Structure 1
Amino acid sequence: MTDRQREITLRFLAEPADVNFGGKVHGGAVMKWIDLAAYACAAGWSGKYCITAYAGGIRFVKPIQVGSLVEVSAKVIYTGRTSMHLGIDVRAGDPKHQQRQLTTHCVVIMVAVDDHGQPTQVPEWIPESQEDIALRDSAIRLMEMRKKITSEMEAHIKQ
């Protein structure tokens, strides 16, 4: 058992300032919330300042209504030498009811850095349950897919 914080959930109300032209919460606001939860989780696990290296596979499943109670949950699902892969779920619903529905899901990679901004080692996370092993294995498969996508994308980058 560890005293490291592996997961965190941020809870707050979606405000009118978060609205888009369609009257729902703006996707950019959701992405900001995801980044905040990812940072809090990664810093809690590593005990260090962390920066976002990657946010991908963002799936906007359902819109969020202004006034909804929003829960952004982040969980370490894989650790590298200096990086942490985090599974992020955003759920929202009427604050007068207990039920929250999944609205957004993604994976974020955070890197711990030292006082000079250089990557620094993070504690290893070792999965114990079958669910955690499946999450780790999924993170590894996604990492391999990202390498292939990066290679393909290089043809689109103009120097």
Structure 2
Amino acid sequence: MSKQQREVTLRFLAEPADVNFGGKVHGGAAMKWIDLAAYACAAGWSGKYCITAYAGGIRFVSPILVGNLVEVSAKVIYTGKSSMHIAIDVQAADPKLLESRLTTHCIVIMVAVDELGKPTPVPEWIPKNEEDIALRDSALRLIEMRKQIGDEMEAHVKYLKSK
């Protein structure tokens, strides 16, 4: 297998077609860029076709303006058997000034699949320094939180069905 690529950064110019009625880039455009970066990162790590299984904790911190240079950075922070947790940061800047600011961040879970669409194993990522260990530990805590949220959602669905 070829060498895994743990990180990727994609760059876009925010175009007028990306703008909402308030004059800022709409969240859907940012989410599309996030999904593209997550895919590129997961495929680069696993060497396989990957699908989005989860995108969560999306925080829109600062608006993106038309004409901004947008950088979407993706990094593997945890691997399961077939899944990869990808941390995403979205930065934006006026291309003339290049003073970037954080606009959005989140975690995306990608799953590697085979030709039949079935989950397939991915190479393990092992943290190598304190920052990597902290990122991995954060991903593990988020896994537990998602399980709790899933249980709550299931209880909600059961309640709605009983009415």
* Corresponding residue number in structure 2 for 1:20: 20
Task: Quote how far apart the aligned CAs of 1:155 are.
Answer: 2.0
Residue identity over aligned pairs, in percent, reads: 78
Q: What amino acid is aligned across from residue 95 of structure 1 in structure 2?
A: P
Other structure's SS at 1:74 match: strand
Q: What amino acid is aligned across from residue 20 of structure 2 in structure 1?
A: N
* Corresponding residue number in structure 1 for 2:141: 141
Structure 2 residue 100 is the aligned partner of structure 1 residue 100: yes
* Corresponding residue number in structure 2 for 1:58: 58
- Quick one: distance in 1 between partners of 2:97 and 2:11? 14
* Corresponding residue number in structure 2 for 1:10: 10
* Corresponding residue number in structure 2 for 1:118: 118
Other structure's SS at 2:39 match: helix
Structure 2 residue 44 is the aligned partner of structure 1 residue 44: yes
- Quick one: distance in 2 between partners of 1:81 and 1:104? 28
TM-score (norm 1): 0.97
- Quick one: distance in 1 between partners of 2:76 and 2:99? 24
Q: What amino acid is aligned across from residue 35 of structure 1 in structure 2?
A: D
Structure 1: which 5+ runs fail to align? none
Other structure's SS at 1:77 match: strand
- Quick one: distance in 1 between partners of 2:18 and 2:98? 22
Task: Quote how far apart the aligned CAs of 1:65 are.
Answer: 0.3
* Corresponding residue number in structure 1 for 2:79: 79
Q: What amino acid is aligned across from residue 66 of structure 1 in structure 2?
A: V
Give me the CA root mean square deviation.
1.0
Which has the higher Rg, Structure 1 or Structure 2?
2
- Quick one: distance in 2 between partners of 1:97 and 1:129? 33
Other structure's SS at 2:134 match: helix
Q: What amino acid is aligned across from residue 47 of structure 2 in structure 1?
A: G
Deviation beyond 4 Å, 4+ runs, structure 1: none
